[in-house]
Chains A and B, each alone.
Chain A
Amino acid sequence: MKDPRIWGLKKSPWVYHVAAASCNNCDIEILELLTPRYDVERFGVVLVGSPRHADALLVTGVLNRKSLPRVLEVYEQTPKPCLVIGIGTCTCGKQIFRNSYNAVGPYDKHLPIHALVPGCPPKPEAMILGVVKALSKL
């Protein structure tokens, strides 16, 4: 606990959900994560409606030429310091769209990303593990 900013970020990461053209599977699983069953509010995680309030962006889906500028804009709208966490196998690379003219490659080529959670879709437990790993790296 050297930097109070990092401590605050670790104790109350508010998440904003950026669905960048995913197949909706990960998005539904993220909603599952925020239900009373997993109760992530124990750790201070709150789902917020505006990127201005967010500390962590949960991105889903394969990046393409249309969604890339939107994702970058949301990232720039988020006050720093903020985390970016990729949910789903799609965020790790181009996957089945690797030969597509439209896919623009993995997220870490375009913006600083703190954790990737593979899985199609990943389990909520896996997402919690990913967020914990991203936070403990800070």
Chain B
Amino acid sequence: MTLSGWQLAFAFVVFPGVIFTAGVGLLLTWVDRFVSARVQWRKGPPVYQPFADMLKLLLKQTVVPAGASKVTFLIAPLIGFTAMCITAVLLFYVNFFPSDSFVGDLIVLVYLFALPPLATIIGASASRNPLSAVGASREMVLYLGYELPFLLALSVPIILTGGKIRLGDLVMFQQAGGPFLASWAGAIAAVIVLICIQAKLGYPPFDMAEAEQEIMSGVLIEYSGAPLAVFRLTKAMMLLLLPCFLVTVFWGGLASWWAILKVIAVVVLVILIKNTNPRFKIDHALRFFWFILGALGIVAVILAFAHL
């Protein structure tokens, strides 16, 4: 099925593009704050809170620090935001029309998910602030850390299907023969991806790039007003899209009503991990990702070759 021009425009702007993803993503950030509040025995903010935050930030004054590279500083948030919009369209399209995706869209999605951290690194480096430089270097190290186990884990479903690298094929394979999560290799790989989601979102225990207590929200320290709103919106969209990606690759795809519950389950799991773990030091995080999760990923790959 090919989409006409209007349908394509609708797909990018309304569903499943900017408006849907941003709205649901912001609702999920409310879920995040509400669950965190309940964990701490509090009442928590009202449902409209993330939208009020967004409105306030969008209408607030934007300060560009003296000596910062102005164009780079202001464009950086838009890179990650655009990447997430494209990801939303690709991911949902593949789920609803699994026979109509292109070869290697899994790889495209992996690269699109790499753009938001890249955007934060660019923006933080452009802001001419020592603390955001520290944050940027931590973000870089963290990115190098989690990408290795992430890719190892993503190679597991490809091996289990016998070398199919189209996301649509993975979805159809799962619809025919059950989710990959049911196999040992798939379960281990899903756990690895879950922990990598935690790091990609910058949530504790992997929030050292934005460490509020030591480097004053690090990479975002100089951002104010609308660019900060775009960064937060990108984060909110990732909070929707990364669990959707996990469910697509390992848990049977999104094309059923059960998928809503599955996505919410993954999000709540991410939030509970966030609330019950202290922050790693950056070198510990790198060691954890490379030597523990990396080794686990290799085990998963071997199990996948043995079709367990």
Interface check A77, CB cutoff 8 A: yes
Q: Which of B57-65, B186-194, B265-273 contacts A (4 or more CB under 8 A)?
A: B57-65
Q: How far is the CA of A79 from the CA of B46 in the complex (A)?
A: 25
B63 surroundings in chain A (CB, below 8 A):
52, 77, 79
User: Which of A's residues lie within 8 Å of B, judged by CB?
Assistant: 4-5, 7-9, 11-12, 36, 39, 41-44, 48-50, 52-53, 55, 77, 79-81
CB proximity to A under 8 Å, residues B186-239: 212-213, 216-217, 220-225, 228
Interface check B45, CB cutoff 8 A: yes
Instruction: List 5 tightest A-B contacts by C-beta distance, closest first.
Output: A8-B56, A49-B216, A11-B52, A79-B61, A52-B224
Q: Are A55 and B56 in contact (CB under 8 A)?
A: yes
Q: Are A44 and B40 in contact (CB under 8 A)?
A: no
Q: Are B216 and A41 in contact (CB under 8 A)?
A: no
Q: How far is the CA of A5 from the CA of B124 in the complex (A)?
A: 27
Contact of A49 among B52, B217, B228 (CB under 8 A): B217
Q: Are B217 and A48 in contact (CB under 8 A)?
A: yes
Q: Are B223 and A41 in contact (CB under 8 A)?
A: no
Q: Are A41 and B224 in contact (CB under 8 A)?
A: no
Q: How far is the CA of A11 from the CA of B37 in the complex (A)?
A: 18
B224 surroundings in chain A (CB, below 8 A):
52-53, 79
Q: Are A79 and B56 in contact (CB under 8 A)?
A: no
Q: How far is the CA of A49 from the CA of B218 in the complex (A)?
A: 9
Interface check B43, CB cutoff 8 A: yes
Q: Are B56 and A39 in contact (CB under 8 A)?
A: no
Assuming A5-B60, A11-B52, A42-B44, what are 16 further A-B pairs, CB within 8 angstroms? A8-B53, A8-B55, A39-B37, A39-B42, A41-B37, A42-B42, A42-B45, A44-B49, A48-B212, A50-B220, A52-B222, A52-B223, A53-B224, A55-B60, A79-B63, A81-B60
